[in-house]
Structure 1
Amino acid sequence: MKFVLFANTDWYLYNFRLSTALRLKADGHEVVMLSPPGAFGARFASHGLRWVTLPMDRASLNPLREAATWWHLARLLRRERPDLLHSFTVKCAIYGALAARVARVPAVVNAVAGMGYVFTSDGAKARALRPLVKLLLRMTLGHRRSLLILQNPDDAAAFSDARLIAPERVRMIRSSGVDTSRFRPADPAATTGGRLRVLLAARLLWEKGIQEFVDAAEHLRAQGRDVEFVLAGTPDPGNPRSATQADAQGWNDAGLVTWLGHVDDMPSLLRTVHVMVLPSYYREGVPKSLIEAAACGLAIITTDLPGCREVVTEHGSDGLRVAPRDALALAQRIGMLDDDRALLERLGRCARQRALSDFDERLVIQRTVDVYGELLSSADRQRQHALRAAKYPPKPLIR
């Protein structure tokens, strides 16, 4: 069979869906990775995967440009003739579902990790777009040959309450998974004691709690604490709520954070820090940074909000929770772990166990493949029924 995995960046496909593509390839299927052009796409070839580019600007609102993007996508799918299209993010789900109907793709899986900018921002542009996006989602998600994958029950309730899709068309798969053999704890002797190192790894979006992270660093420095704040990630020019490179460089130059920019080798970085912080008030699916940190046995501090609470299920058990937009409370939580290294280690051990039981990518990939099988078996039954109907048409009634 042939599968097309479609996302709005090659970075997302490479970092979040490469393992799924390799599993499909190992099972003997053909896999095509589809995204706009980018710096990561060329890496697929080294894994034996084909990458096809689409002229798509994920931040564009120009109707003519968007119509051209959809037309290119429909033509591409008609040429590739996949058995199944798996689209990621809201925009790709809408465009992919509409193009798949024109191209007669037998099965479509849509995956939405978090509600995204249009549903979470209070900005004028987001509010103006929201009714249109809701209408398009209602038109595209509920097709009988498609299923929607969501990552947390809060999003499932939100989609259902807004009548965007019938609950029976939704499948829940918590996170995109993590390779727990690659993301593993460091030798305890290497991280026990010494200066506390706290990491935030994310796109530099304000809603990820970037400002609160910087403010917490300032609070603790004013108290005379020797805690290192490490920031890994780059600005996202396609998102109107992104910090700039100048912002990040300014924090670095002021000595508030150590800004690393993009980091390729996250397992190595995670084995050098003690705490992962994500003070997000973004509508997350299940944050990749948190499950990677959990797999590495780090103590986690995050907010009690959708997606984040899928990782830290109970405050004080498998991590610590903090109220959103509260830099002082975040600083207090970090100070608590700086003072209580036994708590730091216990939270890390519990986080690792949770990653092994719930977020191991082998479990996640198998659940995803099961969703594919569910749709493809249905599509196959429909094709067989159509073939039988064509071969044995009903006899006319004799009057």
Structure 2
Amino acid sequence: MKILYFISEDWYFCSHRLGLAVEAKRAGYEVVLVTQVDLHERQIVDAGVRLINFPFSRRSLSILELIFIVCRLISIYKNERPDIVHHVAVKPSLCGTLAARICGIGKVVNAFAGLGWIFSSSNWIARILKFLAIFAIRLLLSRSQIIVQNQDDKYYVERLGCRSVNLIRGSGIDLDVFPDTPEPTGQVVVILIARMLFDKGVCEYVNAAQILKNRGRSVRFLLVGAPDNQNPASISLYKLNDWNESGVVEWLGHRDDIPKLLAESHIVCLPSYREGLPKSLLEGLATGRPIVTTDVPGCRETVREGVNGFLVPPKDAVALADALEKLVLDAALRKSMGHESRLIAVSEFSSERIVAETLAVYTSLIGTHVA
């Protein structure tokens, strides 16, 4: 049996789906990946995944480009004849499902890693795109197997008329790569790990850092991640460098040593406006860190209020600063909450559990185990 993944970019596949693809191979599937190849070709090929390069722009709104994407996918699907196609994110799901229908492929999985910028932004362009996306989801995706990462998105997609909606909470976390570590000594360090987007609450994080510094709190605030020029909410390099030079936060850019950075931090923060289920918070849970995040879809899934962290309203820098300050001033509270975070990671978000739940979706389509 052959499974074909269509994902916009290779870095996202490696970060969020490579473990799933490896386990699918072990279960007996032939695995093919259609994606835009950039820096991760060797890693993907070494994992035994056959790779098809597919240039793709997440930002483009061109109708002609969408037609070109669908036409090229039709050609690939006809050549590959996969038994299952698995699309990730809204745009690949819509284009991929249309191509699959034209090719007569009935076993389709569409995974939403959150509903994206168009569902969280109040921008007028986003509102128009949201209307069009809702229409397209109802028209194209209602008969596919859909995977969402949080309960809010499950309710939302079901209300759009989709019948087979599976709640699989995130992409999982490797508990060996992110071991439980005691917090370091010295100055308290707060860390935000994400793409540098306004929708991740980066401005509120910077403002909260300034508030705590004005209150005389000695805290380091780290920003880890790069801008995303394919996303309309991307923060400019000028602004990031300006924040870094101000001394309020330290912008470290893209880093490959996330386990080390988490081990050297005390508190994990992500004041996002909406998520699927953010991997950086799962990594924080696994490392045994208290979480401060927003009470929005996706983020709230990672926090038991007052047990392993705090939830604050979105776009509220003062509330964010107040919640962070409680943890900055109380080492015992950080320790107890960090312990609870690790327990949550082990019991709910291990990569083994998430992969098994996803493979079960494939099995429900095939009707029997492959191997």
TM-score tier after normalising by the smaller chain length: over 0.9
- Identical positions, percent: 40
Give the superposed CA RMSD: 1.6
Find the counterpart in structure 1 of residue 89 from structure 2: 89
Match for residue 361 of structure 1?
351
In 2, Cα distance between equivalents of 1:135 and 1:62: 18
Alignment of 1:145-160 (within 5 A): 146-160=144-158
Give a deviation string over 1:118-160, Cα, whole Å, max 9, x none: 22211111112222211211121122xx300111111111122
2:284 equivalent in structure 1: 293
Once residues 201 and 29 of structure 2 are traced to their aligned partners in structure 1, the CA distance between those partners, rounded to angstroms, is 41
Deviation at 1:37, TM superposition (A): 3.1
**Structure 1 residue aligned with 2:104:** 104
Residue 329 of structure 1 is aligned with which of 319, 327, 335?
A: 319
Note the alpha carbon deviations across 1:159-212, whole angstroms, 9 max, x for none: 222x2413xx111111110001111122x2xx3441001000011111111001
Q: Distance in 2 between matches of 1:132 and 1:334?
A: 39
| The one of 296, 299, 305 aligned to 1:305 | 296
In structure 2, the partner of 1:8 is 8
Pair member with larger Rg: 1
Within 1, Cα distance between the matches of 2:105 and 2:290?
44
Structure 1 partner of 2:162: 165
Aligned-pair CA distance for 1:224: 2.1
Distance 1:277 1:132 in 2: 33
Runs of 4+ in structure 1 off by over 6 angstroms are none
Structure 2 unmatched runs, 5+: none
* Residues 49-105 of structure 1 deviation map (CA, whole Å, 9 limit, x = unaligned): 222111321111111121011100111111111111110100111111111112222
2:370 matches 1:372 = no
* Distance in 1 (alpha carbons) for counterparts of 2:239 and 2:37: 27
Q: Does 1:20 align with 2:17?
A: no
1:231-242 equivalent positions in 2, closer than 5 A: 231-242=223-234
* 2-structure distance, mates of 1:244, 1:92: 26
TM-score of the two chains, using structure 2 as the length reference: 0.96
In 1, Cα distance between the equivalents of 2:133 and 2:276? Answer: 18
Contact 2:90 2:112 in 1 (8 A): yes
CA–CA distance in structure 2, aligned partners of residues 108 and 220 of structure 1:
49
1:208-247 to 2 correspondence within 5 Å? 208-247=200-239
SS in 1 for 2:227: coil
| Maintained 8 Å contact 1:193/1:341 | no
Does 1:178 find its partner at 2:173?
yes
- CA distance in structure 2 between the aligned counterparts of 1:192 and 1:65, rounded to whole angstroms: 50
Q: Distance in 2 between matches of 1:237 and 1:336?
A: 35
8 Å Cα contact 1:175-1:364 kept in structure 2: yes
Paired residue for 2:50?
50
The range that moved more, 243-252 or 353-362, is 243-252
Q: Deviations over 1:295-317 (max 9, x none)?
A: 000111001111111110x3111
Amino acid at match of 2:180: P
Q: CA deviation at 1:258?
A: 1.5
Q: Is the 8 A contact 1:134 1:164 kept in 2?
A: no
Counterpart code for 2:281: L
Shift of 1:356: 0.3
CA contact (8 A) 1:212 1:325 kept: yes
State the 1:225 CA deviation: 1.6
| Superposition pairs of residues 256-295 of structure 1, within 5 angstroms | 256-281=248-273, 283-295=274-286
Amino acid at match of 2:241: Q
Q: Which amino acid aligns with 1:18?
A: L
1:276-310 deviations in Å (ceiling 9; x for gaps): 001111x2111111111100001110011111111
1:384 maps to which residue?
A: none
Q: Secondary structure at the match of 1:203?
A: coil
The answer to whether the Cα contact below 8 Å between 2:158 and 2:165 also exists between their aligned partners in 1 is: no
Residue identity matched to 2:24 = L
SS class of match (2:8): coil
Determine the C-alpha separation between the residues in 1 that align with 2:155 and 2:354. Answer: 21
CA contact (8 A) 2:197 2:234 kept: yes
